[in-house]
Amino acid sequence: MSVIYDRVALIGLGLIAGSMAHAIREGGLARETVGFARSAQTREIAREIGLCDQITDSVAEAVAGADLVVLAVPVGAMGDLAAEIAPHLKPGATVTDVGSVKQSVIDAVAPHIPEGVHFIPGHPLAGTEHSGPRAGFASLFRNRWWLLTPLPDSDPQAVERLSDLVRAMGAKTDRMEPAHHDLVLAVTSHAPHLIAYTMVGVADHLRQVTDEQVIQYSAAGFRDFTRIAASDPTMWRDVFLHNKEATLDILGRFTEELFVLQRAIRMGDGQQLFDYFTRTRAIRRGIIEAGQDTDAPDFGRAAKTGG
Ligand code: NAP
């Protein structure tokens, strides 16, 4: 692999930035990676494990001279971070983010980006329920989608260069309108996460079954919900607060469907349930055919989700 950017600054050293650091190093995709995180503790761990070539104690130092700056903090923190780094960005640099919501990040970040710096928002559809500087690994993005939502005036060459990096880290890339991205992700990721949080919360309320049996006999369905519901609380709080409209729209539709199924169960309408489950099964087959999951039993498999 060849060097795509001379100096890459990773701001926020959690799962996503950490995985980028590993993938960039493995592929020799940058001459130098520089990292910064807000807490001294995270910076210390990052130094200890050699996550980047250099960990700085100020964000200004990290972004100074960087050709690519990656904002990898929770969605709600992007705007303040952009304001803080703006005066220190190198002319001609690219700023991207990895936030799970796009329109609100664009609204918060774009006004701070100085003339002559390219802002190209992005979102890797890859993740795990783990977070922090030790959570990253080089293969996280392999065969996963990484959506870019360039602005109407984004420089095509800068977009192509960022796409090259994304592909070199093993991901597949596509471009999307920010609002469309937010609706698609509300269906495929955000609403499912909320449903998982709710289901685990329901089990938690039923104390008489949760204490022992739910944990002991947890079969794949509930167990998978608990994995999703273990995702980072800050990240997911911000996702829902910043993708409010689309998530509420999808949850409204979800509730309607749930009532339809609830009624079918109450009325003993087996045909309706059977037909419904036959349709949903076809969607699962489509996901497997698209290479986004495998057909193998998943006992203990290190499952990956997309935030
Ligand atoms: P993470 O592992 O929890 O790491 C978050 C990083 O952001 C940490 O370095 C943390 O610093 C920093 N941070 C937290 N709050 C901050 C604030 N208010 N101001 C400045 N820095 C702050 O998170 P992650 O999973 O890598 O997620 C990062 C971004 O990627 C989020 O926008 C998320 O939506 C997106 N994303 C996540 C996934 C996923 O599945 N995890 C998938 C795709 C995209 P300290 O450690 O110093 O507190």
Distance in Å, CA 103 to ligand 1 centroid: 18
Superfamily of domain 5-176: NAD(P)-binding Rossmann-like Domain (3.40.50.720)
Task: Enumerate the H helices of 64-172 as residue ranges.
Answer: 78-85, 103-109, 156-168
Q: Minimal CA–CA distance to 121: which of 77, 177, 188?
A: 177
β-strands 68-71, 5-11 pairing: parallel
User: What pLDDT was estimated at residue 204?
Assistant: 75
Task: Report if pTM > 0.85.
Answer: yes
Q: List, for residues 164-207, the tens digit of each pLDDT value.
A: 999 999 999 999 999 999 999 999 999 999 999 998 888 777 76
Domain residue spans of the chain: 5-176, 180-267
Token pair belonging to 267: 């009325």
Q: Are 236 and 127 in contact (CB under 8 A)?
A: no
Strands 54-55, 94-97: pairing is unpaired
Write out the E strands in 37-154.
Answer: 54-55, 68-71, 94-97, 118-119, 122-124, 145-148
Q: Note whether 246 and 182 are within 8 A (CB).
A: yes
Average the pLDDT over 285-289 and give the result.
85
pLDDT tier at 106, thresholds 50, 70, 90: very high
CA 230 to centroid of ligand 1, rounded, Å? 15
CA 243/CA 142 separation, integer angstroms: 26
- Give me ligand 1 centre to Cα 14, in Å: 5
Residue nearest ligand 1's atom 46 by CA: 42
Q: Which amino acid is at 212?
A: E
- Which amino acids bring their CB within 6 angstroms of ligand 1? 12-17, 37-39, 42, 72-75, 77, 81, 98-100, 123-124, 127, 131-132, 135, 232, 234-235, 239, 305-307
- Indicate the top mutation candidate among 36, 44, 69, 100 to test ligand 1's pocket, ranked by most ligand atoms within 8 A of CB: 100
* DSSP H/E element including 241: helix 233-242
Give the tokens for residue 43: 């910076």
Cβ(229)–Cβ(197) under 8 Å?
Answer: yes
CA quadruple 264, 266, 268, 271: dihedral, nearest 10: 10
Strand order in the sheet with 122-124: 122-124, 145-148, 172-175
Predicted confidence at residue 142, as pLDDT, reads: 97
pLDDT tier for residue 296 given thresholds of 50, 70 and 90: low
Nearest to 123 by CA among 268, 252, 242: 242
Torsion of the alpha carbons at 59, 179, 248 and 128, rounded to the nearest 10: -50
CATH of 180-267, one of 3.20.20.70, 3.10.20.90, 1.20.1530.20, 1.10.3660.10: 1.10.3660.10
pLDDT the model gives residue 210:
56
Q: Output the pLDDT for position 303.
A: 45
